[in-house]
Structure 1
């Protein structure tokens, strides 16, 4: 080989080595910072960083996915451990204090509800008395199984319902019942009494029965309980407590086919069915970061909704808060993950009656999170809401104020969170009403005022019970919440 060939060979070798070294030294700028690369592959020292990001993403998405399940599990746990309610007991929530633990509770009518573990009871019989009620049975993903009362198959005339757990056979005497098939072992049974007469409402509640199908020939009396002033909270826990509650309820429930990929994510984070929850330090870090970011995204997804049709009137700040097309949370080609996450971060339960499209039947909910200028509602400022004459509600309307942090009734010194057409409000000559919200009552409008808390933000629901055609065709409009001096 001549001198020129040897020199060319050494040059090519030097270039190859230089290119190799250059490739090894490359970095790729990404959302999580620079990632060291070896050519087209991540460098070995980058792999742990990428897996850390994957675990964080899995934890964030799992938080949002699990919101409805953790919400019911937390509520059930609080009823049991703080209020002494066992499976099959009914809790009567009547007063302002009773309802302080319920996410976005209706402050106008009483709630009668209880959690039932079908692992313990097997098929469950519910006897609903006739009368003006609205309610139903929901599974632990907060999917409506069946409505009861005015929007249910009994149409307010009462009747017997039979709730079947997953895999249960329909009994031979099924014709005696309205059949409800659950996809989870735990269910919520609840209803509201719509009669404004407290005595009639109490009598109706006392006729309600709930017992195992196996004891239908000698049913025991349903136990009625009250919080009795005890503090409790159905708000989803924060931090590692969120994941502990999720792990706890997963042990009691079958895995639905649609959730298997999320269960794979959870397994990567140390949360599995039939296994103890013992996360490694790396998994714990991902879970703690994920629950923090997950809730921040949940707040954006809830209080600044971006899905189509959320804004009810194009020129108003009011949202349609319950954007789940069907109680099953399912549309043609997907399940409504983000609509579901929004509703079950700010609220609990779902029935067909709550998304009524029939004039004169069910309820509807409008939510306001900002004033007319799009600014968050501030507990230190004063606001007015003008409610025009003849609101489209066959039964009644109500305006309720909630705390942003807990999503529960505002916990104010006034001990009042709502204004409604069932109250003795001061009206304008044309029949319209001006409602006020702020730290101090405006002179002469004390009856029309809800006290807000400085230093805290709030939001509101405007409910229409038995909405009429003017709501559905949008010929009646509700003004925006307006700041006042």
Structure 2
């Protein structure tokens, strides 16, 4: 009897082991194709990640969010560098007087004290910060200049001068602010802007080595005033800044995000790309809200700014896309507008590297800079 019981128990144990190894397949079981389920352990560039039934553990959650915040901050640097650049231009100009009535002139050309991107020492640079409110502003421009108006997001608004509608003769331009629905009188070259703040820059030209004709033409003709004051415009203040310290270059460290935030707070959101604003919002730069990153986030932003800085330098120093080169494989001459697109859009896609690389080293957006001229 004992032998029989022993045999039965051994048989039952063997059956239970078999049962544990091969559970019955349920009728509604579906085979999961490979590549869908998350393994219990993953090796990534930001560490080992652990999961239970596909759910991350607490340490993994922290690693993932640290990485996500870094990626958002890094993309914010690359996508928002032009916004910071315009903020720096604004601050540099307003150091010499209020908006609309202060024109900054390099009457004796630029020198090493002027911190500008891509400026030269032969053009007679002149500029003003245009600040609109609830009515159009008039800009009277001098003849024979190359002039550009870009908005606060660093988007093109208008040309004036040789490549503008005034055909180099000088003229009256009416700049319409965001949301304006009032009457637009005739007799002006009309341009609409998506921002209240706008950068106005124009270059005069030397005559027989003299800057005097260009400077005198500006002082005689250039005026800025609200449309309502066209019959009694305020006086302009022309400031010669040649030889003075002027800084218009954006930051390349953590504070670049503070520069971006100032523009976001100052302008309507409608005028900027929702994707760019979304990236900025993901790191705490949101319209109508204070930008106050905690210690953890500030550390991440600092690291992202450092990574962004070396990335834009690398993009422009050693481009890997042939469209950056005028003569691919033959020379290192670079096209500042790869693909010939001043708005950084080609075949419906944004040229992300080209845009970031350009705004790292240059300023001024206009179709005229990207177009091909035969001759």
TM class, shorter-chain normalised? Answer: 0.7 to 0.9
1:9 maps to which residue? 16
- Write the deviation string for residues 343-397 of structure 1: whole angstroms up to 9, x where unpaired: 11110112233223233xxxxxxxxxxxxxxxxxxxxxxxxxxxxxxxxxxxxxx
1:373 maps to which residue? none
Q: Which moves more between the two structures, 38-47 or 245-254?
A: 38-47
Instruction: Provide closer, same or farther for how the CA distance between residues 25 and 186 of structure 1 changes in structure 2, counting only shifts above 3 A.
Output: closer
Is residue 51 of structure 1 aligned with residue 58 of structure 2? Answer: no
1:227 maps to which residue? 241
Instruction: Provide closer, same or farther for how the CA distance between residues 7 and 142 of structure 1 changes in structure 2, counting only shifts above 3 A.
Output: same
Report the alpha carbon displacement of residue 162 of structure 1 after superposing the two structures with TM.
Answer: 0.7
- Write the deviation string for residues 50-107 of structure 1: whole angstroms up to 9, x where unpaired: 1110000000001011111110101212332x43443442111243337621111122
Is residue 150 of structure 1 aligned with residue 162 of structure 2? Answer: yes
Is residue 345 of structure 1 aligned with residue 356 of structure 2? Answer: no
Q: Which secondary structure state, in structure 1, belongs to the residue aligned with residue 148 of structure 2? A: strand
Q: Comparing both chains, which one has the higher relative contact order based on Cα–Cα distances under 8 Å and sequence gaps of 6 or more? A: 2
Structure 2 counterpart of 1:281, from 295, 300, 304: 295
The CA distance in 1 between the partners of 2:318 and 2:39, in whole Å, is 43
The CA distance in 1 between the partners of 2:22 and 2:92, in whole Å, is 70
Report the alpha carbon displacement of residue 324 of structure 1 after superposing the two structures with TM.
Answer: 6.3
Could you tell me which runs of 5 or more consecutive residues in structure 2 were left unpaired when the two chains were aligned: 24-36
Report the alpha carbon displacement of residue 142 of structure 1 after superposing the two structures with TM.
Answer: 2.1
1:185 maps to which residue? 196
Instruction: Provide closer, same or farther for how the CA distance between residues 242 and 55 of structure 1 changes in structure 2, counting only shifts above 3 A.
Output: same
2:136 maps to which residue? 123
The CA distance in 1 between the partners of 2:271 and 2:366, in whole Å, is 23
Contact preservation (8 Å) 2:312, 2:360: yes
Could you tell me which runs of 5 or more consecutive residues in structure 1 were left unpaired when the two chains were aligned: 17-22, 360-467, 469-485
Q: Which moves more between the two structures, 251-260 or 155-164?
A: 251-260
Contact preservation (8 Å) 1:116, 1:188: yes
Structure 2 counterpart of 1:294, from 289, 308, 325: 308
Report the alpha carbon displacement of residue 7 of structure 1 after superposing the two structures with TM.
Answer: 4.7
- Write the deviation string for residues 208-233 of structure 1: whole angstroms up to 9, x where unpaired: 11111121121112221133644232
Instruction: Provide closer, same or farther for how the CA distance between residues 25 and 259 of structure 1 changes in structure 2, counting only shifts above 3 A.
Output: closer
Structure with a larger share of its residues in helix: 2
> What is the TM-score when the length of structure 1 is the normalising length?
0.66
Instruction: Provide closer, same or farther for how the CA distance between residues 192 and 320 of structure 1 changes in structure 2, counting only shifts above 3 A.
Output: same
Structure 2 counterpart of 1:236, from 222, 238, 250: 250
CA RMSD, 1 decimal? 2.7
Paired residues in the alignment total: 350
Report the alpha carbon displacement of residue 300 of structure 1 after superposing the two structures with TM.
Answer: 1.4
Instruction: Provide closer, same or farther for how the CA distance between residues 262 and 6 of structure 1 changes in structure 2, counting only shifts above 3 A.
Output: farther
Contact preservation (8 Å) 1:97, 1:229: yes
> What is the TM-score when the length of structure 2 is the normalising length?
0.85
Q: Following superposition, which runs of at least 4 residues in structure 1 exceed 4 angstroms of deviation?
A: 10-16, 23-26
